[in-house]
Amino acid sequence: MTPFVLLTYYCLLILGASIAGGMIPMWIRLTHRRMEIAVSFVAGVMLGIGLLHMLPHAVEQARNNAPDAQGTDLTVMLWVLAGLLTMFFIERFFCFHHHEVEDGEVTCHHDHDHGDDHGHGHDLTWSGAALGLTLHSIIAGVALAASVQHGHGNWPLAGLGTFIVIMLHKPFDSMTIATLMARGGWSTGWKHLVNGLFSLAIPLGAFIFQVGIMGGDEGGPTLAYALAFAAGTFLCIALSDLLPELQFHDHDRVKLSAALVLGLALAYGVCRLEEISHQHPPALPSATTNETS
């Protein structure tokens, strides 16, 4: 299966998950506890894939294209830092990446007081969230395409870990936009339209990578740095979901911790599956060797 075909399958499945995520608030009423446990699990998967899958592959890819291993490793880590900071500033200025549910509404992690004159609550709007989440999704599409491109020669399911992360996380993003639009009184038709357009962000990111970033370079350092950048974005997103639990969620510590560990275990299992699939049985001694020995 060619990388383009596999990437197309992945994008179609993610597109369906995104559309379904926007419809979740119409089907079931989510509780704060269920949401936080699900977010902890997905954040664990994302953290594991970023650190155990993308980052090692980025280092390997970069070293294969440069003789100076020490300088190459530093460049890779700079791209990781660039990805982390890019996502950090997107979240800081759009305040979009929040999936808490209180009485059917999405709330921001930072809606708390620091004194009478220093409140820092954010009035989260669907348009701001949609813009921030679209940028985030385009970057995720780049990450998916880079993962598929890196592993397509060795594994029929190249990029599986990255696909799983995006597939699990995408419904939360669509649900955030749909919930905010419902709070603003928008009609069901408008919610479906915005959700449908938003679901195209992942394929757009994959297209940008294939055509605008990679071009005809299939195995050069560009692929390594794209993987490193994606690892940084995954790290930032995972931590932005996990760290608020330490400060604002004193309840359900055991369940949230178990969900995190389970997510990390899934990520580790996917990485091990890839390693096993890459292992080849030792070559049998040739007949000539046996005759001469």
In the chain, DSSP finds a helix count (H) and a strand count (E) of: 11, 2
* Burial class of residue 99, CB neighbours in 10 A (0-12, 13-18, 19+): buried
Neighbours of 13 (CB within 10 A): 14
Which residues make Cβ contacts (< 8 Å) with residue 183, sequence separation at least 6?
Answer: 105, 106, 126
Of the candidate ranges 36-40, 107-111, 164-168, 265-269, the one whose mean pLDDT is the lowest? 107-111
Answer whether residue 162 shows pLDDT above 80.
yes
Q: Residue 49 has what pLDDT?
A: 95
Residue 106 or 238, more confident: 238
Q: pTM of whole model > 0.85?
A: no
CA–CA gap between residue 35 and residue 100 (Å, rounded) = 7
CA–CA gap between residue 8 and residue 146 (Å, rounded) = 13
User: 3-class SS at 66?
Assistant: coil
Answer whether residue 123 shows pLDDT above 90.
no
Q: What is the mean pLDDT of residues 68-75?
A: 75
Answer whether residue 26 shows pLDDT above 70.
no
pLDDT 10s digits, 184-221: 888 888 888 888 888 899 999 999 888 877 665 565 78
Element (H, E) at 105: strand 105-107
| Residue 114 DSSP class | S
